[in-house]
Amino acid sequence: MLGAHDWAEMSKKREPSVWNVAPAPDIGAVLKGARIALTAQDADLRYTGALNGSFLFDGKDYLGASDPSFFSADAGRQLLASKQRVAATGKGESVDVSMVLGEETQWHRLWIEPLPLDDAGTGIIAAAVDVTGQKVAEEHLRLALLELAHRSKNLLAVVLSIARQSADDSQSLAQFSTRFVGRIRALALAHDVLTDESWRGATVFSLVRSQLSAFSENASAQSEITGHNAYLKPNAVQYVGLALHELIAQSVVSGALSAPDGTIRVESALAAEESSATPVLRLRWVESGPHSGAQDQSEFGHALLERIIPAALGGTATLTAEPDLLTYELTIPSAQFF
């Protein structure tokens, strides 16, 4: 019966050399497709050979050269120091280094191991993998997290302001709850629309429809949206969503949407402005029907529509009330839409 030692010896005898698997050119072709290079260096850390070294050395002659010849000064020193440690300690290391090719920066991750060279000392054998795509993705994620932190800070500031102003403007806890929850819901709806568009922005029409549908099916049925379907940037989506909520909420309580024959028309149009070389976007809310001209909105609601929201967008706004007719026009500068 074979013991563990016998099995180990037999396993060693059967273990093939990797170079017996296929000719070097074929192995090089596989490495090329995977963007991997295998390199060998002597005890002086000068290159003696490589498989698929073209992407690592940018097509330059590498035989007899050392790392500082191919990498930037900092990366070359970092790589050289790492290889010197590996040769001295006999312990492998992994290191990420960059190199600039034209206007493009490439990143390589190297796994470095000692290579005994009989009486000639200890050299280095290393595998280098192109991780540029991973590094770019990591940088995009880092920037996205910074943007998320910035947006979260801004959103919390908006929520805090809404809470404070809604409280100051309410006569009872129940009134505060209704107004505050409604306004936060409007922000949530705007954020839902932004999430569907990966936070790039949202169209005017989709934003109007989402705010209308939050109240009732009748609100959408009694409304018409026409004109230029501009693509609003995230900041504009948030504040225009708040403006729409204030208008719809008031209309449902005592305006056009409180009666079956009332109508809402939302018009969106590009318009020239003397003070700007680029056109502005004019959003116009026209509400007709019973009590539409009655301005019994809260003081904070008026402030949102006429001062706070246009100021946040860098635009202007007017709210005009006539018997059975209410018109709100919001001018949005070109920096807030595409």
Q: The domain that contains 252 carries what CATH number?
A: 3.30.565.10
279 & 322 share domain:
yes
pLDDT at 105: 86
Domain boundary among 101, 130, 159: 130
* Residues forming beta bridges with residue 97, ordered by sequence position: 108
pLDDT tens digit sequence for 313-331: 999 999 998 888 899 999 9
pLDDT tens digit sequence for 58-102: 778 889 988 888 887 888 888 999 999 999 999 999 999 888 777
Q: Which two structure tokens, joined as six digits, stand for 11?
A: 């396993």
53 & 120 share domain:
yes
126 & 142 share domain:
no
Domain boundary among 97, 112, 130: 130
24 & 146 share domain:
no
- Quote the Cα angle for 194-240-337, to 5°: 70
203 & 318 share domain:
yes
142 & 283 share domain:
yes
The answer on pLDDT for 25 being more than 80 is no
Q: The domain that contains 49 carries what CATH number?
A: 3.30.450.20
- 255, 291 contact by CB (below 8 A): yes
Q: 17 pLDDT band (50/70/90 cuts)?
A: low
What is the average pLDDT value for the chain, to the nearest integer? 86
Domain count, the chain: 2
81 & 194 share domain:
no
100 & 192 share domain:
no
Domain boundary among 106, 130, 154: 130
143 & 122 share domain:
no
Check residues 216 and 63 and name the one with the higher pLDDT. 63
pLDDT tens digit sequence for 172-183: 999 899 989 999
Instruction: Give the CB-side neighbour count of residue 82, counting CA atoms within 13 A.
Output: 21
What's the chain's length in residues?
338
Task: Please report where in the chains the tokens 């409180």 appear, as a residue.
Answer: 258
CA 29, CA 204: separation in Å to the nearest integer? 53
The answer on pLDDT for 254 being more than 60 is yes
203 & 309 share domain:
yes
196 & 73 share domain:
no
The answer on pLDDT for 4 being more than 60 is no
What range defines the domain where residue 113 resides?
4-130
The answer on pLDDT for 2 being more than 50 is no
159 & 276 share domain:
yes
The answer on pLDDT for 238 being more than 60 is yes
CA 4, CA 203: separation in Å to the nearest integer? 71
Give the three-state DSSP class for 54: helix
